[in-house]
Structure 1
């Protein structure tokens, strides 16, 4: 399959790069063999087990589905579909929903969504017993890489030898929804390590594994395939809406430069809502069950056939312009006229079909309006599998049309937008600045101030430190505030101190929790007067570091109880890229030293 070809020659090291977009319902993979002084070319993996030979076609995606037998993965993708009716197998689908944070399922704008078939009332299919979410991802990623290697070796000259030689330095890129953070990245990193895609060593797991939001990947894709020269000018503001299976990611960009290359910056915090194609399918399932109650075609197997037919054709073709539509699910002998079934076709009114879209389209429209706000955007670029829906495009035109915003779609099929766009991002990196979606910081202590009423209320949780001063914990030190513009190298530094009784003490390890504040303002306190965390504080991850290297930085001090030793150090946290990075810093004889910081999963408050 033809794919993106770079417009300038690649000048980095010889390398293999693989990008995987694991969607809720469909998955796609792209790869590139980057060679110095040659034009980068992106290829899609378009040959998968269980699918007809797709050479020369655009079949570049597979179902995101696995079949488990007694806790072991037996099949993935199209091959797993063969086990759907096998009672000996557990079918795992829509497992991506298990990682969605609760905030993505909650709408913050009226009216309330009370439709039981809507996104807010959606039930996530359970995983098989004793199978954890990271294991599902590990099994699936292993399957994807196995077939990526086959495709690479068959399409690249001397492919097997090149793969063996460069596998240890291969870059893996995973796409994630805008609403995911370090918590979900940790699960994916663990899965990639378990699947053998990257090594377990801390530095390797961060250097060779990259994350990119589906929204940012999509903007790289759409600018590569749309006629951007006809509408993209310096200073122009535009939105990219990636409507997928379970999430809709929306980001607003401003064009800072078009020559010698395109450079974009985010304008405001991006949007990510739990809405998409699978919610329309679930609403259709509820519709069929209600309409066919009492019909011989109302059993679960028939309803499942109808949902499949609806998803494959009716949903994709529906634009709301005709009075009636059909769901072609059966054969010519399947008839039940009182229930609207003739020759294997269920007849639906346009109002019936539109009702299945209503909740999702409403959510998407409101999310777009929140994103656009008072910004004078000219264009809305719509991508993603669900973005191909003619009805969604029509509704968005009606919803944002009064703002004089034009809706643009890519000329190429967009179901692979994130997978191919992720690799284009690696090659071009046209986004130079992002906007923080939330306030993130660390908790620290402060010297007790008896003149401060808030300090006095916390007198019961204060303690006396080695230096004889009374300290109180629960003070929030923001590293980045929601709405902050962050360049790719945006870094903030926070200072810490540790005290020891003697030089012989082991310095041990240091840890601090990175937390997000989900309230409306940036707080001074994140603990109440009893020392309990406020509910708006969400723990994201833990930074840990070995302090043994700081032994020669200990400073002798004299306190009320005599001699003690203090060491001061800093943790530099980089937010500007697509994932969190941190380094330990300290001064030794006036020279700045650095050491590694491990990033661990979040913990309970």
Structure 2
């Protein structure tokens, strides 16, 4: 869906930040929008209640609880609370329910997506991924509509433009999968934009005054100055999403370095903590604990989440984590030792010990869990800085903008500031609302989708073709049955690293091969290893989708023009018959 096909000037723009750990929504009415200060009057209501602490929150955990028949039971804090009750109730069987938590990263990990793709819940029960994502979006949408109804607004669903945020490092297929999920949740294609998370945060921070930055606010004026090149580091629950922008004279932005990053968000720290526990009680023991004692496992990870917020670089304090009795039961079963004894006989004996029902973790071990993750982030950041210096003459990154929930960690802030602040004139900036920058920025993107004038392609794109067989260059095993052509040859039509302007198409000419042909079909592939790819079956060559162009059948063979539009957040196509100049129905079907 190209941005030009989306409804213009909507009455209400609603952003949905569907995060790995937390999700939420924000909105802004048409009469509240100001081009001079689009951050003004963006509502991010405290619509969620965390249950235990009875504290209102702007975001809720990305957790979905389904009944055994697949019907929605609850979402967010309520889903966590309800599933914990189910696990503690002797009359309930948790296996009669599906409980999904932190499942967004599945789209980053999976290379192949389709309507039949299955993901597992916290009990290793399989369920269609498209249903999990669409039902979660539906819960967020329903909560929003209830909020609007409570405020007695007269907004109808057709008056709303939805903006759904995704990591910039996601593949085209993952982005399209989210669009399919939104469609299944009742959001029409012409009422939906896909926004890239670091871009949204970048837009939001353009308009923030100095006093709304907790660190580096005095440099905010440089962020707004034309010619400034700055890095956005979006550290969320699942991913580290890094991109580089340049502020232009017209106030818009251009991407200077292609989006990069990896699975180095806050949940990576959780994964290292789980690995520590696995090393103590054995991998089989920890797996059993997570599978058979879901409620206790959830409580343990909530305890650890509180600890994560307290870890900083100068502290030498000891952190206390309440240990469920069932973890000791598992330890006894698998090791014939209590959990306390297992800790004392483990490699962590010097930095961890158990007193009563508390696991005491030394600050050095807690910091080490963070350091392993932050090291991956800073290595990628440095590579990005070096690339920009090498590839853009006379241009260098002068600011680093940290956003996302994981950026609110004191340890993360201090480590990145210590590493980069002042090096070659770099200043680190962190807005007060680091965890809401993406969400609120997505609302601005809904009003200003052309604010990003150009982007850098992450992949080389090409089509699968069957050229005349050449024994000097082609693989004998890929020869067609008649021996005249070679199957599965990859022919690139645009290279990674290319700067593409918003809405500007790339033209390719294709030809019909038989009279009265009704359509042409092409398989589109992408790769990051463009120099090594010869065939679409080569490792690193990933299927994007099937392109189909429906044409008017004629006796004469036809030339057909396909325009690939790369400059937006999603890939779109336009098809035209060259001779008649007739626009044709042209689509790329992904994840089918």
Interval containing the TM-score (normalised by the shorter chain)? 0.7 to 0.9
- Structure 2's unaligned 5+ residue stretches are 1-6, 87-93, 113-118, 211-219, 283-287, 325-338, 345-351, 390-395
| 1:171-190 superposed matches below 5 A | 171-190=161-180
CA distance in 2: counterparts of 1:173 and 1:572, whole angstroms: 25
The 10-residue stretch of structure 1 (335-344 or 34-43) with the greater mean CA deviation from structure 2: 335-344
Q: Which residue of 1 aligns with 2:60?
A: 62
Q: Which residue of 2 aligns with 1:317?
A: 310
Task: Please tell me whether the aligned partners of residues 478 and 488 of structure 2 are also in contact (alpha carbons under 8 angstroms).
Answer: no
Change (3 A) 1:526 1:287: closer
Task: Please tell me whether the aligned partners of residues 183 and 602 of structure 1 are also in contact (alpha carbons under 8 angstroms).
Answer: yes
Q: Which residue of 2 aligns with 1:519?
A: 529
Q: Which residue of 2 aligns with 1:109?
A: none
In terms of fraction of residues, the more strand-rich structure is 1
The 10-residue stretch of structure 1 (30-39 or 435-444) with the greater mean CA deviation from structure 2: 30-39
SS of the counterpart of 2:496? coil
Q: Which residue of 2 aligns with 1:91?
A: 99
Q: TM-score with structure 1 length normalisation?
A: 0.77
CA RMSD of aligned residues (A): 3.5
Change (3 A) 1:355 1:124: farther
Displacement of 1:135 in angstroms is 0.1
Change (3 A) 1:570 1:403: same
SS of the counterpart of 1:434? strand
- Select the residue among 542, 547, 550 that pairs with 1:546: 550
- Select the residue among 433, 438, 442 that pairs with 1:422: 442
Q: Which residue of 2 aligns with 1:483?
A: 497
SS of the counterpart of 2:526? strand
Query: Does residue 577 in structure 1 map to residue 560 in structure 2?
Result: no
Task: Please tell me whether the aligned partners of residues 95 and 127 of structure 1 are also in contact (alpha carbons under 8 angstroms).
Answer: no
CA distance in 2: counterparts of 1:493 and 1:127, whole angstroms: 49
Change (3 A) 1:399 1:229: closer
Displacement of 1:283 in angstroms is 2.0
- What is the CA deviation profile of residues 509-566 of structure 1, one whole-angstrom value per residue up to 9, with x for unaligned ones? 322111102315275x426xxxxx222321111112322xx235x42xxxxxxxxxx1
Task: Please tell me whether the aligned partners of residues 330 and 343 of structure 1 are also in contact (alpha carbons under 8 angstroms).
Answer: no
Change (3 A) 1:236 1:522: farther
SS of the counterpart of 1:440? strand
Task: Please tell me whether the aligned partners of residues 98 and 124 of structure 1 are also in contact (alpha carbons under 8 angstroms).
Answer: no
Higher RCO structure (Cα 8 Å, ≥6 apart): 2
Displacement of 1:399 in angstroms is 3.0
CA distance in 2: counterparts of 1:152 and 1:53, whole angstroms: 26
Displacement of 1:186 in angstroms is 2.6
SS of the counterpart of 2:57? coil
Task: Please tell me whether the aligned partners of residues 442 and 514 of structure 1 are also in contact (alpha carbons under 8 angstroms).
Answer: yes
Displacement of 1:43 in angstroms is 1.5
Query: Does residue 510 in structure 1 map to residue 520 in structure 2?
Result: yes
Total equivalences in the alignment? 518
SS of the counterpart of 1:437? coil
Q: Which residue of 1 aligns with 2:238?
A: 246
Q: Which residue of 1 aligns with 2:507?
A: 493
Q: Which residue of 2 aligns with 1:114?
A: none
SS of the counterpart of 2:548? strand
- Structure 1's unaligned 5+ residue stretches are 1-10, 105-122, 199-204, 465-469, 528-532, 556-565
Q: TM-score with structure 2 length normalisation?
A: 0.78
Q: Which residue of 2 aligns with 1:535?
A: 539
CA distance in 1: counterparts of 2:467 and 2:274, whole angstroms: 56
Displacement of 1:29 in angstroms is 0.8
SS of the counterpart of 2:581? strand
- What is the CA deviation profile of residues 109-133 of structure 1, one whole-angstrom value per residue up to 9, with x for unaligned ones? xxxxxxxxxxxxxx98568645211
Q: Which residue of 1 aligns with 2:269?
A: 280
CA distance in 2: counterparts of 1:214 and 1:182, whole angstroms: 15
SS of the counterpart of 1:24? coil
Task: Please tell me whether the aligned partners of residues 326 and 345 of structure 1 are also in contact (alpha carbons under 8 angstroms).
Answer: no
Task: Please tell me whether the aligned partners of residues 522 and 546 of structure 2 are also in contact (alpha carbons under 8 angstroms).
Answer: yes
The 10-residue stretch of structure 1 (32-41 or 130-139) with the greater mean CA deviation from structure 2: 32-41
Task: Please tell me whether the aligned partners of residues 438 and 516 of structure 1 are also in contact (alpha carbons under 8 angstroms).
Answer: yes
SS of the counterpart of 2:180? helix
- Select the residue among 462, 480, 496 that pairs with 1:461: 480
Query: Does residue 270 in structure 1 map to residue 262 in structure 2?
Result: no
Q: Which residue of 1 aligns with 2:578?
A: 587
CA distance in 2: counterparts of 1:245 and 1:463, whole angstroms: 53
| 1:218-237 superposed matches below 5 A | 218-225=201-208, 227=210, 228-237=220-229
CA distance in 2: counterparts of 1:23 and 1:440, whole angstroms: 28
Change (3 A) 1:245 1:36: closer
